[in-house]
Structure 1
Amino acid sequence: MYGILRHPFRRAVVAAGDALRAPMSLSGTADAVMDALASAPGPGAPGAPRAVPNLELQLHHTHLPKLDAAGVIAYDADEQTVVDVDEAAVVRLSGVSETLAAECADALSD
């Protein structure tokens, strides 16, 4: 579970869970990720989200396939489309992600 949340882009996909409506194109998913990054920057966030180079490429080749393998989403790489979102998994991971973010913030403030 922590491996899934290790990267800020995967955390942003989870955070964008409510905005992800399957089917959703890769560009639509990237937009939702950018919005999630902009609204919840924190430890490990890549900075100004509109300046993320090749976000769609990174999502397509790395992050969406990892989330697919974990059963969080179903990603059709050939069609470059998120075809399903496991809402229960997103809710579960969102809770873990929020806990981790709070713990990191506490650790950094000490």
Structure 2
Amino acid sequence: MQRKRDREPVTVGLALTVGPALIGGIFTLAKQIHNTIETYCANQTDCIELNEHIYEVVGCLEHIQSDAQISKQLEQPMLTLQDCLIDCVTLLEKFTNASTIGQVLRSRHYKKEFENLITN
């Protein structure tokens, strides 16, 4: 099993986070994204769409959280999802930390990055 982000094998310590701990980490990242969007991006269509996609997936994870066998089967996809959510948090931090002028000047760049996150 490998992490999509760096193609490195998953370490024993990381593998132990699969299941409820990994799902909890995903929930935490999703909540962080949601809070950032609610605070800074309320009028941004891309932010709202990203938030909706994340919560569709999180809603599914809630159903498998208590089933260890399904959690084990979904290790790799959950690690990939976690990597994607980390990328989302990073992009949102860049976007929200930019000045209004910076957001306008780099709007095409941010639009492209948001589209990449939504389609991946």
TM-score over 0.5 (shorter chain): no
**Structure with greater helix percent:** 2
Superposition TM-score, scaled by structure 1 size: 0.30
Higher relative contact order (CA 8 A, sep 6+): 2
Superposition TM-score, scaled by structure 2 size: 0.29
**Structure with greater strand percent:** 1
